[in-house]
A and B are shown apart, each in its own frame.
Chain A
């Protein structure tokens, strides 16, 4: 109970505070940058900037047809663990209660059996993603400690959550504390590593879309 009290108390408060601080630091830092100077007029008939940005954000969610076949596996697997994480984080009732305690709003959750199934699928998908990263020569070459740490800190909360639910390993309260502490580690790393793509992908894709649109590229 002491470990659980520490996890639910100081550890959680500290990690959520670091998360908020880091995310705002990076987002405000990017959004408050000066607008890119436009040294050339936009190509005739090009879409307005906002439309180019939105088009890029959504169209890049599916690989271009040229690469669709080659990238099918990584695309599908990526969607599996991203949706899985979304379901587990936002539709498991104890998680909803945690979010309600922060934001004051709640929504209906899913039965535990569904969450456990999705959680297991997510964990499997993450393991497959790691295996692919380790076996693909190109991906292995461009992978850095940042990538592996981001993977580990995403996988640990899923694994410890499943273990707590299934009563595998230490006593439940210890496993629950480890689960919360793994989430704390995730939150602390989030703003400073590649996990920040959860926010930055919108800005980077939008900026790319605007530049391409400006030059008249079809997005």
Chain B
């Protein structure tokens, strides 16, 4: 396939609440990825950084920040911000450089240090033109409020229950307990999840992802370079960073309203399903070809939405998948074998990269304790507020 790039190295700094600089996490992940690839830092030609907006200026220029911390060596650089999709934008940037023939070896890094508690708008002062500031001011619409709206919609439309949502958290906690990079090694029972305090009905504390510190990195190379320097590697045949098509009629962060769906033709595919569709089309594969998936469980209920968005089942059937154990390791199509956000918490610019790390480890047969047998093909999916789609397909 002509649009493939190779993943020669993956690396992570464990997720947690370490309270140190994001730069340290990113550099640790980068060094691990370079070691995994058997590539020297001085041989990297392009650095793509995923930005963090809660760590001052160095966070806005993450690519250069990591390059400086690794030791200036003259590589070209780019930094991307796309909220939760920042990491996959960095992957897309590095991939485009490689596919255009502008470089052979690229390093992708994302890392974050996060504050405690709810994410609040960044920056100070009255910002009455900024929807991200206004949604807190006028409605108190925190991120979990939007997660709660989507979760309740599933209950109203498809008869989802609190138990269904709790099952997702229980599953992901069992997966994450086998992952040394996950923040929470603890396995949770249904009773514990359902006894945790309600935050935004129907979602309880243990069903909403925490904010974490962490870092993830990839060494991407051209296929030609990979064939010369490695014998066994996985590849990326597709990266999707689509935006919605007008009108977008799903209420999403940080908006007060949707577009108006009156008097205009609706898009052929709504925004969320279009994210995976674009990736599948690039790779020339379909959901039936997938062996596993890493999806963005900002809440346990949202994981069920993703089953449908990436085509693992029809709309309204996700509850059956979780009830039947289809998405557990050992099931028909394991989802979030890493433990997902439920076990990691969210380190925004690192997260989409971490999803790819997990698929790489799985496809290389190195996911000790949580291995999906003979996995050949996997998909990641997430999306960031302000309309950022994100999906990456990884292939053995």
A binds B: no
Which of A's residues lie within 8 Å of B, judged by CB?
none
